[in-house]
Amino acid sequence: MTSVAKLEEYRERIRTELDGVVDFWLRHSNDTSHGGFFNCIGRDGSIYDELKYVWLQGRQVWMYCRLYRTMDRFHRPEVLEAAKAGAAFLKKYARSSSSSSSGSSQWKCAFCLTRDGKAVKIQRTIFSECFYIMAMDELSRVTGDKDMQAESELMMEQLIHWVRVDSSGLGRPQLPGDIPTNSLAVPMMMLCLVQQLTEGRNQEVVQKYRELGAWCVQQILQHVQRGGTAILENVSLDGSELLGCLGRLQNPGHVLEAGWFLLQYAAKQGDEALQCTAINTFMELPYQSGWDKEHGGLFYFMDVDGHCPTQLEWSMKLWWPHCEALVAFLMAYSQTKKPELLQRFSEVYEYTFSHFPDGENGEWFGYLTQEGKVALDLKGGPFKGFFHVPRCLHMCELMLDNLLANKDQMSNKQ
Amino acid sequence: MTSVAKLEEYRERIRTELDGVVDFWLRHSNDTSHGGFFNCIGRDGSIYDELKYVWLQGRQVWMYCRLYRTMDRFHRPEVLEAAKAGAAFLKKYARSSSSSSSGSSQWKCAFCLTRDGKAVKIQRTIFSECFYIMAMDELSRVTGDKDMQAESELMMEQLIHWVRVDSSGLGRPQLPGDIPTNSLAVPMMMLCLVQQLTEGRNQEVVQKYRELGAWCVQQILQHVQRGGTAILENVSLDGSELLGCLGRLQNPGHVLEAGWFLLQYAAKQGDEALQCTAINTFMELPYQSGWDKEHGGLFYFMDVDGHCPTQLEWSMKLWWPHCEALVAFLMAYSQTKKPELLQRFSEVYEYTFSHFPDGENGEWFGYLTQEGKVALDLKGGPFKGFFHVPRCLHMCELMLDNLLANKDQMSNKQ
């Protein structure tokens, strides 16, 4: 099969999957009585729990808006209406003020809400707030709502304060043995937000976040350890290795996701050295160390020294690392046209599309055993929503469109 | 094989296992520089992390003392010295005062400490404190230290206050959607402590905890739902079923453990109705619903309506539910002599002893896949210490001693 035919085959399957996934969530997830989205959705689309998870509410609003804004076939009223209903629910209920006395600010969001919006749990981290910002910024791009954009930027100021100045507002007690840690998730998430808030905005906004973007990249690069041979999930604030399991932990999917965040950033900045690091270090290393040579698929957690991780699910194959790997390798191939990167994409594609999609009821399974058997058959749960699968399919489809358009141009020139 | 020969075979294997397990921990776990115990111990006995988990420190002190006090062959100086060193570490470091402003009392214990005793994490639950009390009370029985016994009882007063009067001292923010819940773990743990603190003590102490014991039993029985056909892990404070995954959750190993707690209590009270409930409901039900008919072994979590649990490890086979099942069925058989209960014990025994012990390096694996393959090869970790395996082996050996002694008597009478 020619390379063009192969890319066309990928695009066809990816487009079909994306249509199916969007349809699944539009049909099953909207809560028309209380607003917002059901998150806990069983194999066949039935709701098995009514709790609403703020990460997933925010991500779903963001994803609907992104699809509505960037793909003609999703520029449909029901997509925008679902996004607006989700955002209204978030605005009304997510920022539930906690009764904690630990200086929680007006911006702290809950992690989990009841169906009618009462706070069930508040995490002492920044992530609910991050997805709230992503949702509001993306919706403001669709609606042109300047107040909503301004609110996102105000909340972003609070996040920056928590991350870079003083985290005490998050409510975590300071304990003498709890060493401050640079966890990969934090600078990754902040870089993602910088890209979200600045994309296509005027120079004033771009300038406002320029230094933060560079800081995020530097913080992410601190996770490259052991002479460039390993990427560790947690390092000390001065970028050295931490003791014990925490210090040795590796999360291949997370590194691959960081890889394509860096690649996007490098492309925007025209930074070839960073492009090189993103591909050779943040993509090739986790693939080499994280791919299961026996059963295929990416491990969830690993220990850099080969000890057994203490996370019970370490050897399971989760959907999202595979989504991140698909985006990462296709983006790397798009930027470099190196055939070995398309080969990597193909390997991940084969495993992913032969294991995760549910041919019977639509959408994807999220959790497989090491051997590739479905371990949990839910389609949505506390950490799986309308996000990684459609984001991956959406990005891959657009990248394949571009690749194929350029191939056509090349063919026409010949 | 005659039934006596079978019991003798069980006792022989169990005694050998117990010797091996005690030896493993005495050799690998003592931290002779900083005191206390290493908890994170790899397959071959090597230390893969130096963090010290307070639950496990307390349990290990308790277990050493129990072995020293009740079995001649463990009445050895090095067992007592290890226990004392663990208790000294706990007394010095576990009650690290938190910097939290949320009314933490002098009795709040950390969950995790650095090797040299600095607090890393404090849970907003009662369990660190529970295992602290168990450790101190059991050690006081060995040493005759009245101050230590008195301290245990004082800490117990604090626990009772948190559980029955006002939990705000635990530091959990009150959230409008977070409904107060009766979690099976809490009354189970409190009943365990009542049995610990009163065993062999004078009438004054027994009387002091009498009403609490009855309350714990009543709280445990509230988890029997759906007309006696299911035991649910979480119910409302008035004993009705909760909505969603939380309300439908089942933990078969936990129920079996509650079963033998109830059986001990019933025997002491001469309560035949409770004995019946303990066996027919708390042992037979979780065995029927929780035993994997395809691969053998007890599931970790289940959903009473057959939905897929959201816990990624739901289908794994963990060591401790099997330990609890062995104790439960052998105790039930000892009290009733019903052959079907010995049959249950045998079934669990066959699975347990053919899957969990590590013939090569000693001790037991803790975490198997649904199919019975070792998923994590650690011997000790954040939740697996010197507790469930030796407690089970110790109790089973003593029960088999009694059964065989009585069989001998019966034989002699014939």
Q: Determine which of A47, A92, A241, A307 to mutate to test the interface with B (most B C-beta atoms within 10 Å).
A: A307
Query: Does residue B36 belong to any structural domain of this protein?
Result: no
pLDDT range class, residue B157, cuts 50, 70, 90: very high
**Residue B373, pLDDT score:** 98
Contact A175 B118 (CB under 8 A): yes
Q: Is residue B38 part of a domain?
A: no
Nearest to B369 among A114, A369, A382 (CB): A369
**pLDDT, tens digit, 9 for 90 and up, residues B19-51:** 999 999 999 999 999 999 999 999 999 999 999
Q: Above 70 in pLDDT, residue B413?
A: no
Of the residues A144, A162, A178, the one at which a domain ends: A178
Give the model's pLDDT for residue A409.
Answer: 72
Does the residue A26 lie in any domain?
Answer: yes
Confidence (pLDDT) at B68: 98
Tell which of B175, B303, B311, B358 to mutate to test the A interface (max A CBs under 10 Å).
B175
Domain boundary among A124, A154, A178: A178
Interface A:B, Cβ pairs < 8 A: 133
pLDDT at A412 over 70: no
Give the per-residue pLDDT at B102. 46
Min distance B45 CA to chain A CA atoms (Å): 12
Q: Tens digits of per-residue pLDDT, B276-292?
A: 999 999 999 999 999 99
- Residues A134 and A190 occupy one common structural domain: no
Answer yes or no: do B9 and B88 share one domain: no
Question: Same domain, yes or no, for B279 and B221?
Answer: yes
Q: Are residues A170 and A213 in the same domain?
A: no
Q: Is the pLDDT of residue A30 over 70?
A: yes
Share above pLDDT 70 across residues of chain B, in percent, rounded to a whole number: 96
Q: Which residue of A has its CA nearest to B365?
A: A308
Of the residues A43, A48, A101, the best mutation for testing chain B's interface (the one with the most B CB atoms within 10 Å of its CB) is A48
Higher-confidence residue: B174 or A120? Answer: A120
Chain B contact set for A381 (CB, 8 A) = 310
Comparing alpha-carbon positions, the chain A residue that sits nearest to B112 is A177
Kindly state whether residues B266 and B408 are assigned to the same domain. yes
- Shared domain check, B88 and B18: no
Question: Using CA atoms, how far apart are residues B267 and B72, in angstroms rounded to an integer?
Answer: 25
Pair B189, B129 in one domain: no
- Measuring CA to CA, which residue among A261, A239, A242 is closest to residue A250? A242
In the predicted model, what is the mean pLDDT of residues B308-333? 98
Contacts of B316 in chain A (CB under 8 A): 312
Pick among A175, A234, A295, A305 to test the B interface (most B CBs inside 10 A) = A175
Is it the case that residue B55 has pLDDT exceeding 70?
yes
Indicate the pLDDT class of residue A355, thresholds 50, 70 and 90. Answer: very high
Q: Do B110 and A367 touch (CB under 8 A)?
A: no
Domain membership of residue A35 (yes or no) is no
Q: Cβ A176–B118 below 8 Å, yes or no?
A: yes
**In this structure, are A10 and A124 located in the same domain?**
no
Q: If pLDDT is split at 50, 70 and 90, which confidence band does A99 have? A: very low
Mean pLDDT of A229-248: 98
Domain annotation covers residue A38: no
A97–chain B nearest CA distance, Å: 9
Q: Is residue A194 part of a domain?
A: yes
Residues A378-405 pLDDT 10s: 999 999 999 999 999 999 999 999 999 9
Query: Is A119 in contact with B175 (Cβ distance < 8 A)?
Result: yes
Cα B135 off chain centre by = 13
Q: Is a pLDDT exceeding 90 seen at residue B61?
A: yes
Question: How does the average pLDDT of chain B come out, rounded?
Answer: 95
Instruction: Supply the mean pLDDT for chain A.
Output: 95
A101 pLDDT band, cuts 50/70/90, is very low
Kindly report the CATH number assigned to the domain that includes residue B335.
1.50.10.10
Same structural domain, B149 and B239 = no
pLDDT at B97 over 90: no
Mean pLDDT of B119-143: 97
Inter-chain touch A312–B367, beta carbons under 8 Å? yes
Partner residue facing B177 (CB), from A101, A118, A245: A118
Residue B43 domain-assigned? no
Shared-domain flag, residues A196 and A320:
yes
Measure B389 CA to nearest chain A CA, in Å: 19
Give per-residue pLDDT as tens, B176-228.
999 999 999 999 999 999 999 999 999 999 999 999 999 999 999 999 999 99
Domain end: B158, B178, B198, which one? B178
Q: Do B310 and A244 touch (CB under 8 A)?
A: no
Task: Note the pLDDT tens digit of each residue in A152-194.
Answer: 999 999 999 999 999 999 988 889 999 999 999 999 999 999 9
Q: Which pLDDT belongs to residue A106?
A: 81
Specify whether B90 is located in the same domain as B187: no
pLDDT over 60 (residue A104): no
> Could you read off the pLDDT of B216-268 as tens digits, one per residue?
999 999 999 999 999 999 999 999 999 999 999 999 999 999 999 999 999 99
Which pLDDT score is estimated for B101? 42
Residues A255 and A274 in one domain: yes
pTM of the model: 0.96
pLDDT given for residue A1 in this prediction: 67
How close B102 gets to chain A, by Cα (Å)? 7
Query: Domain total for chain B?
Result: 2
Determine the structural domain holding residue A322 and report its residue range.
Answer: 1-30+182-414
**A128 occurs within a structural domain:** yes
Per-residue pLDDT for B70 more than 70? yes
